Amino acid sequence: MERSLTDPVSVLKGAGPKRLTALNKLDINNIEDLLTAYPFRYDDLSVKSLDELADQEKATIKGIVASQPVLSRFGRKKSRFNFRMMVEQEVLMVTFFNQPYLAGRLEIGQEVGVYGKYDVKRQQITGMKLFTANDSDDFAGVYRSSKEIRPNTIKQLVTQAYDEYHELLTDIVPETIRTKYRLESREQMVHDMHFPASKQAADLARRSAIFEEFFRYQLSLQFMKKKNQQTSGTKIAYDNQALKKFISALAFELTTAQKKVVNEICHDLHQPVHMNRLLQGDVGSGKTVVAAIAMYAAVTAGFQCALMAPTEILAEQHADKLAELFAPFGVNVALLTSSSVSKVTQKRELLRHLAAGEIQIVVGTHALIQADVHFKQLGLVVIDEQHRFGVDQRKALRLKGNDPDVLAMTATPIPRTLAITTYGEMDVSVIDELPKNRKPIRTRWFPKAQLHEALSFLDQQVKEGAQAFVVSALIDESEMVELQNAQEVYRQMAAHFAPDFQVGLLHGQLKSQEKDQVMQDFKARKYAVLVATTVVEVGIDIPNATVILILDADRFGLAQLHQLRGRVGRGASQSYCLLVADPKNDYGKARMETMVQTNDGFEIAQKDLELRGPGEVLGAKQSGMPDFKVGDPVENLNILQIAQQEAQTLLQAPDFDQQPANRGVLNYLRRTVLAQPALD
Ligand code: ADP
Ligand code: MG
């Protein structure tokens, strides 16, 4: 029978049902999986002499067995044996745990090698591996394993698979690219990943493996993007004159960056292709108005638009603002959240107007994706704070129209790594400049013992006419506790500021109208201070507010703190952010220090990435961050960038699928993206 890398692992000798189950649990199903289940580290097993070793260093030491091993057992599973070993005129004590069968192999006078950890003071080695013959590798891979399967068994199976299948390891990365970056052939690379002759060989192979992994990923991504661009979408032939009028009627002039992204978006709208664009801009950079311009463009071409926001408060704020902006232009804006249209008749009315096309712009929460929501002609979907929505929710909104254009907005600045990996299939527009009138927010960190200092600063600011947010701690356990905590903070603040100033309270459990009322009152300066839970985290725009005091700030992540801080500094006055926290560990301290040092969202995101790793930064579930086996997109960012460029260049060549040199690439795409059989 003909062999293929997709053969199940069961074709190998010694791969019985038990081991197969164990391998499957490690995501190893076929030969290719096994051959790319690379060691996660290598042990240098070359023999060292004692004076080369530092205390607690791991190495192989050679010597003569000088005493009969003494074995002790504890219970059924645990055991230990000791023996003395003569090494270069010294006597060391060797101890092995839980490998009793090794004791039987030892005889006094025999030469052995022990790989283990050397304790200088006690003259002792805690053994991990025992060599009784001279056949050991100097440099050996250590495999990820589990309780059910031992690393050595995996290694044996890999060896067998390599011997029988290595000729099928044909290259995916074209030769020109391999030569350019001095990468190994796939066969050599797989060999050296598993059986390197030296550390250098292992490093070289790893570099090639990382490149290949990123390159494959980028190929699929870019290929899909290209296919997506080729499928036709809606052409939104907007009225340029009307759009210009709308823009010049704004209360401010757009920043250069805003103008640039408006152009990019309008260009896409006008093309008969499907727009899938991410609008990225730091908190306060003015994304909403850009979305408003794009929506107005769609409206002038006779289309409807939907804007989805993650919280009711934010949806309401957007609806209010858009209604105000659009009122002089005769555009109907409606709000749809689960509590905004609480009466059944009211909701039925709204849905009828929407389906009839009489409402041009609907703003809402995920209530927009309910089954009974229909549009007459949905042309543009805007998703605000898009990282707060799951992939399915975003898709559900898109499906409300006939392939509408999509503009996703995020204030979570995306470091290069995440931009390339997670958003690779989207076009990205960046607002990299804040409106000119802004002053950098000043941030200070107070230990809890100095809370009074933070409060007296707050007092002074309020007396001078400032408005302030006080954010109560984030509490994971329950919303109830979080609410109680906010209420407690509210009581204290209200007492503190009475009778001169009023304090408001905003939390997630208020009804929609109540929240709206609180926000309106704060806007109208009825309250000097607004105590809030994290419901104010995203989007809230009250330019008068210039101070934010965040309690137990160490409970928040960096991205969250940056978002919270973004609630101030939205106008021309100097704004302040006061963090009150006693961080419990260095990681917490590093977060506070980062916040004090920089206002730059990109820098903060990069720091966050370094401190936490990409999986956690966006939330593993929503990030769509691929699970790379060898490459680390943060650590190996430069390789990732090169792989992206090369994949792009390759796919952009008009006849890329005709060139013999690209056969490996083509077969890879056929197998993975196109689900077609490989060419021979
Ligand atoms: P974000 O990007 O965080 O969503 P917003 O769109 O809420 O920011 O804008 C923040 C504030 O800046 C709003 O009050 C908005 O009216 C104002 N703004 C937006 N663009 C400009 C500009 N070009 N000049 C001055 N103010 C602006
Ligand atoms: Mg916003």
pLDDT in tens, 69-84: 999 998 888 899 999 9
**For residue 284, what pLDDT is reported?**
86
Indicate whether residue 252 lines ligand 1 (CB < 6 A).
yes
Query: Which phi and psi (to 5°) does residue 419 adopt?
Result: -60, -45
**For residue 37, what pLDDT is reported?**
92
What angle is formed at CA 261 by the lines to CA 258 and CA 267, rounded to 5 degrees?
140
Is the pLDDT reported for residue 421 higher than 70?
A: no
> Residue 74 burial by CB count (10 A; 0-12/13-18/19+): exposed, middle or buried?
exposed
Strands 58-65 and 78-87: antiparallel
**For residue 616, what pLDDT is reported?**
52
Determine which residue's CA is closest to atom 26 belonging to ligand 1.
Answer: 435
- How far away, in angstroms, is 287 Cα from ligand 1 center? 7
Task: Compute the mean pLDDT over every residue in the chain, rounded to the nearest whole number.
Answer: 88
Q: Residue 104: which pLDDT band, with cuts at 50, 70 and 90?
A: confident
- How far away, in angstroms, is 334 Cα from ligand 1 center? 22
More confident site: 357 or 276: 357
Q: Residue 7: which pLDDT band, with cuts at 50, 70 and 90?
A: very high
More confident site: 505 or 105: 505
For residue 289, the ligand 1 atom closest to its alpha carbon is 6
Is the pLDDT reported for residue 624 higher than 60?
A: no
- How far away, in angstroms, is 333 Cα from ligand 1 center? 20
Question: Counting ligands in written order, which one lies closest to the CA of residue 286?
Answer: 1
Q: CA–CA separation, 562 vs 538, rounded Å?
A: 10
Instruction: From 405, 411, 361, 404, select the one nearest 384 (Cα to Cα).
Output: 411
**For residue 449, what pLDDT is reported?**
95
Q: CA–CA separation, 540 vs 385, rounded Å?
A: 12
Sheet with strand 503-506: strands edge to edge: 442-446, 576-580, 545-551, 467-471, 529-532, 503-506
Helix 558-565 with 586-597: angle, nearest 10 deg: 30
Indicate whether residue 289 lines ligand 1 (CB < 6 A).
yes
Instruction: From 581, 550, 589, 556, select the one nearest 448 (Cα to Cα).
Output: 581
Is the pLDDT reported for residue 619 higher than 50?
A: no
Q: Residue 512: which pLDDT band, with cuts at 50, 70 and 90?
A: confident
Q: Residue 650: which pLDDT band, with cuts at 50, 70 and 90?
A: very high
Distant-in-sequence, close-in-space partners of 333: CB < 8 Å, separation ≥ 6: 319, 322, 323, 326, 359, 360, 361, 362, 363
pLDDT in tens, 283-330: 889 999 999 999 999 999 999 999 999 888 889 889 999 999 999 999
Q: CA–CA separation, 249 vs 326, rounded Å?
A: 10
Q: Residue 414: which pLDDT band, with cuts at 50, 70 and 90?
A: low
Q: Residue 602: which pLDDT band, with cuts at 50, 70 and 90?
A: confident
Q: Residue 419: which pLDDT band, with cuts at 50, 70 and 90?
A: low
Question: What amino acid is encoded at 537 in this protein?
Answer: E
Query: Which phi and psi (to 5°) does residue 560 adopt?
Result: -65, -45
How many residues would you count in the chain?
680
Q: Each residue of 603-621: b (16+ CB within 10 Å) or e?
A: ebbbbbbebeebeebbeee
Provide the 8-state DSSP code for 660.
G
Lowest mean pLDDT among 43-52, 206-215, 582-591: 43-52
Q: Residue 622: which pLDDT band, with cuts at 50, 70 and 90?
A: very low
Is the pLDDT reported for residue 410 higher than 80?
A: yes
- How far away, in angstroms, is 171 Cα from ligand 1 center? 51
Token pair of 403, please?
A: 């392939």
- How far away, in angstroms, is 563 Cα from ligand 2 center? 10
Residue whose CB lies within 8 A of the most ligand 1 atoms, among 285, 318, 320, 388, for a mutation test: 285
Tell me the sheet residues that pair with 83.
94
Q: CA–CA separation, 62 vs 65, rounded Å?
A: 10
Is the pLDDT reported for residue 178 higher than 50?
A: yes
More confident site: 334 or 600: 334
Is the pLDDT reported for residue 241 higher than 50?
A: yes
**For residue 220, what pLDDT is reported?**
86
- How far away, in angstroms, is 506 Cα from ligand 2 center? 19
Provide the 8-state DSSP code for 51.
G
Strands (E), 147-289: 276-281
For residue 321, the ligand 1 atom closest to its alpha carbon is 16
Residue whose CB lies within 8 A of the most ligand 1 atoms, among 252, 279, 433, 575, for a mutation test: 252
Q: CA–CA separation, 103 vs 110, rounded Å?
A: 13
What average pLDDT score do residues 518-532 get? 93
Is the pLDDT reported for residue 569 higher than 70?
A: yes
**For residue 345, what pLDDT is reported?**
85
Is the pLDDT reported for residue 643 higher than 90?
A: yes
Is the pLDDT reported for residue 416 higher than 80?
A: no
Q: Residue 476: which pLDDT band, with cuts at 50, 70 and 90?
A: low
Q: Residue 613: which pLDDT band, with cuts at 50, 70 and 90?
A: low
More confident site: 356 or 430: 356
Strands 90-97 and 70-74: unpaired
Indicate whether residue 250 lines ligand 1 (CB < 6 A).
no
Is the pLDDT reported for residue 450 higher than 50?
A: yes
- How far away, in angstroms, is 565 Cα from ligand 1 center? 15
* Measured CA distances, 8 to 132, 187, 339 (Å): 35, 20, 54
What angle is formed at CA 510 by the lines to CA 505 and CA 511, rounded to 5 degrees?
140
Distant-in-sequence, close-in-space partners of 640: CB < 8 Å, separation ≥ 6: 214, 417, 420, 421, 631, 633
What is the C-alpha R_g of the chain?
32
What average pLDDT score do residues 637-644 get? 88
**For residue 378, what pLDDT is reported?**
95
Is the pLDDT reported for residue 625 higher than 60?
A: no
Question: What amino acid is encoded at 9 in this protein?
Answer: V
More confident site: 144 or 412: 144
pTM of the predicted protein model:
0.67
Environment of ion ligand 2 (residues, CB < 5 A): 539
Indicate whether residue 307 lines ligand 1 (CB < 6 A).
no
Question: Counting ligands in written order, which one lies closest to the CA of residue 321?
Answer: 1
- As a dihedral over the C-alpha atoms of residue 620, residue 621, residue 623, residue 626, rounded to 10 degrees, the angle is 70
**For residue 477, what pLDDT is reported?**
65
* Measured CA distances, 545 to 19, 515, 565 (Å): 63, 17, 11
Helix 199-230 with 186-194: angle, nearest 10 deg: 130
H or E element at residue 161: helix 151-165
Q: CA–CA separation, 278 vs 425, rounded Å?
A: 10
- DSSP state letters, 71-135: EEEETTTEEEEEEEEEETTEEEEEEEES-GGGGGG--TT-EEEEEEEEETTTTEEEEEEEE-SS-
Contact, 633 vs 640, CB < 8 A? yes
Contact, 285 vs 434, CB < 8 A? yes
On the CB side of 540, CA atoms within 13 Å amount to 30
- As a dihedral over the C-alpha atoms of residue 495, residue 496, residue 501, residue 504, rounded to 10 degrees, the angle is -60
Query: Which phi and psi (to 5°) does residue 555 adopt?
Result: -80, -10
H or E element at residue 317: helix 312-326
pLDDT over 90, % of the chain:
56
Q: CA–CA separation, 312 vs 319, rounded Å?
A: 10
Contact, 209 vs 38, CB < 8 A? yes
More confident site: 289 or 140: 289
pLDDT in tens, 21-64: 999 988 899 999 999 999 988 888 888 898 889 999 999 999 99
Q: Residue 344: which pLDDT band, with cuts at 50, 70 and 90?
A: confident
Q: CA–CA separation, 511 vs 605, rounded Å?
A: 34
Instruction: From 90, 83, 89, select the one nearest 112 (Cα to Cα).
Output: 83
Write down the residue that tokens 């009793």 correspond to.
100
Q: CA–CA separation, 183 vs 210, rounded Å?
A: 10
**For residue 513, what pLDDT is reported?**
79
- How far away, in angstroms, is 97 Cα from ligand 1 center? 65
**For residue 618, what pLDDT is reported?**
45
Indicate whether residue 324 lines ligand 1 (CB < 6 A).
no
